[in-house]
Chains A and B, each alone.
Chain A
Amino acid sequence: MSKENAIEVTSLKKTFKVYPDKSNSVKEKVLFWKRNKYEKKEVLKGISFEIKKGEAIGLIGKNGCGKSTTLKLLNRIMYPTSGKIKVEGKVSSLIELGAGFHPDMTGLENIYINASIFGLTKKDIDAKLDDIISFSELGDAIYTPVRTYSSGMYMRLAFSVAINVEADVLLIDEILAVGDVNFQKKCFKKLNEIKYSGATIVIVSHSLDQIEEICDRCIWIKDGLLEMTGKPKEVHGAYLKSMEEDRRRLSEDMKNAENSDVYDRESFCGRPVVRSGTGDVMFTDVNITDKDGKENTLFKTHDTIKVTYDILNPKNVKEAVVYVRLYRDDNAHAFGTTSVIEKEGLMKLEGRNKVVLTFKDIHLLDGNYMVDVDLKDENEVAYDCIHDTIRFDVYNTEGRTGMCMIDTDIETC
């Protein structure tokens, strides 16, 4: 192993056995020995890389590409099927936090137990105790049993222990979502300190921003193989492009699939949308304006919003029902109605080329909202249904919170 390397990985392979029907008892192993057949699933197909001492590395890739497996192998939780892993120095992991916490014991006692699992001696722990407690911001709660902790407190304590283990190599899996924003900032600061003190860091994350913030280099794993390595910005660019291509290919496939009901027609919405229907009547464009017809996407509570769709009616469909739904961007359903409810009937389409929705005096509060629209016949057979056609933002200046405005009177008597 070269002196300047902290980690050397050579043609690393990992195969998992996938049992369709797993048996763990003697009876089953004897009686149903045929069931013990398994399929081999090759997760890592031969990866080699080197990480220098003091380097911070990001591992990225799609779900199931093998990045977490790589991290577990580096951590010696699992062993490779073939290939070599050499890691120099003491390894600490922020893979699963709070392992070995005992709910009936106090935070303090759990610090000792948890830190001992990382291989610290009592003397080491005594020396770091103050740092750990102050980092966790638990104060006097450290003397109460862990079962009384909120999940945030629990994670803070676990993180404080793990990050204060002075390791030469620190492995992190998607955990920088601990606690509130302030605590996260503190964690980042601490990570940077650890980095500058000369430790080697390997991070697995879906947050490319986090990786760009800390890492010097990024390794992209694709389908169990090393696809690219280099500066985070460059690798991320290529990675995002590839993800986009995958997405496009997926929607192409859907379009080409026979009798497919879901497809992505030319996307006038500015992004791929989920769309279904026979296509006898089709939406072809959308725009959003205020009540005077001026294009706008930012509205105040009580404003009026006009959404106009252009439609194409090649088969001369005479009438249809219009369905409208509003969702907030966290998929909360804010409002829904149909032309049957609002106009008591079908909407005339013959010779018309626009559908105009006017939301008067909106009672929505702050948030980003999207508009779904459907055209269906009287038997609910869909002509064209689109999810998330256009988005708009709403804000209110009075400081009201929640999703919708309710006329409220407060008085004392």
Chain B
Amino acid sequence: MLRELYDYRQMIVSLVQKDLRGRYKGSFLGFLWTFINPLFQLIIYTIVFSNIMRMGIDKFYMFLFVALVPWIYFSANLQNGATSIIDNKEMVSKIYFPRLVIPLAYNISCFVNMLFSFVVIFAVIIVTGFGVNIKALLFLPVIMIIEFLLATGISFITSALTVYVRDLKHILQIISMGWMYLTPVIYPPTMVPEKYRTLFNLNPMTPIVNAYRDILYYKQVPAMQTLIQATAFGVVLLVIGYFVFQKLQKGFVEEL
């Protein structure tokens, strides 16, 4: 299977290109939207949580920004990746290719978008003189890859299920909103009451967001336990996602 995916690498590249190029085609600000959307979310949350509901966190905008960008990637992939198979109905029902290519390509294009957003993060870090820890920074690609694996596993499941249950898309919007508040994106994990901690840590996005924040905000190497936990979640979901997808994909054409 991996070999076949490798054979179809050009298809993945084409789809990613098409998606990135098609995403903002015909819009006035074009590619700038990649930056504007997270920037505005950042501004809104910063205003709310530094001035209205004061969190008392130093440089809250940085605290939020380094977690929000990875979260936006994850939730975009969660919500829109789900419809990726249906959106490519024409192709799926007419030509053979490994079906995994489609959610994978969509995921990669979201991932590339996140990378562009990281350019903005680093710009802010440099402009404000926030500073970085080079040693910690080495772990940034690692945590990105782990998040990518997790997102891939989840999008395999959601994209395949959506073919059978079309309104999963709407359900996922609600889930995505709830999930964000259950993940320490806008607040530090220490604010979670002790008795809910264990439950809270079962959220696969928790160790990932914590790791991003460790690296970029606290400027320290993330705890090994955090990384192991994140990797375990990522790999397990990827494997489950793969098998669910392969099982469900046999009926795609008849369901579409």
Contacts and interface: CB of A to CB of B under 8 A. Distances in A.
Interface string A115-138: 111111110110000000000000
Interface stretch (A23-31, A60-68, A271-279): A23-31
Contact of B25 (A16, A104, A124): A104
A284 to B, nearest CB: 53
Contact of B96 (A75, A112, A116): A75
B167 A27 contact: yes
Nearest to A72: B253
A25 B167 CA distance: 5
Interface in B209-248: none
Nearest to A121: B10
A332 interface: no
A265 to B, nearest CB: 46
A95 interface: yes
Contacts of A96: 94-95
B14 A116 contact: yes
A76 interface: yes
A93 B96 contact: yes
A17 interface: yes
Contact of A24 (B94, B165, B171, B251): B165
A102 B22 contact: yes
B253 A119 contact: no
A100 interface: yes
Given A116-B13, A121-B9, A100 B253 contact: no
A321 interface: no
Contacts of A125: 10
Contact of A119 (B7, B90, B165): B7
Interface size class on chain B is 20 to 34
A78 interface: yes
Chain B binding surface, main DSSP class: helix
B254 interface: yes
B11 interface: yes
B254 A17 contact: yes
Interface in B167-220: 167-168, 171
Interface string B84-110: 000010110111110000000000000
Most buried by A among B9, B18, B25: B18
Interface in A209-237: none
A29 B165 contact: yes
B33 interface: no
Nearest to B88: A100
A27 B8 CA distance: 37
Given A26-B167, A29-B165, A112-B14, A119 B8 contact: yes
A181 interface: no
Given A76-B96, A77-B93, A77-B94, A119 B11 contact: yes
Interface in A283-325: none
B165 A25 contact: yes
A91 interface: yes
Contacts of B96: 75-77, 91, 93
B18 A113 contact: yes
Contact of A113 (B7, B14, B250): B14
B166 interface: yes
B10 to A, nearest CB: 4
B164 interface: yes
Given A29-B165, A78-B254, A116-B10, A102 B18 contact: yes
Q: Which 4 A-B pairs have the closest CB atoms?
A: A96-B94, A116-B10, A116-B11, A79-B250
Interface of B: 7-11, 13-15, 18, 22, 25, 88, 90-91, 93-97, 164-168, 171, 250-251, 253-255
26 contacts: A24-B165, A24-B166, A25-B167, A26-B168, A26-B171, A75-B96, A76-B96, A77-B93, A77-B253, A79-B250, A95-B95, A96-B94, A96-B95, A99-B90, A99-B91, A99-B94, A100-B88, A100-B95, A104-B25, A112-B10, A112-B14, A116-B8, A116-B10, A120-B10, A121-B10, A124-B10
Given A100-B90, A121-B10, 17 more contacts: A25-B165, A76-B96, A77-B253, A78-B253, A78-B254, A93-B95, A100-B91, A100-B95, A112-B14, A115-B10, A116-B10, A116-B11, A116-B13, A117-B91, A119-B10, A121-B7, A122-B10
Interface of A: 16-17, 24-27, 29, 72, 75-79, 91, 93, 95-96, 99-100, 102, 104-105, 112-113, 115-122, 124-125
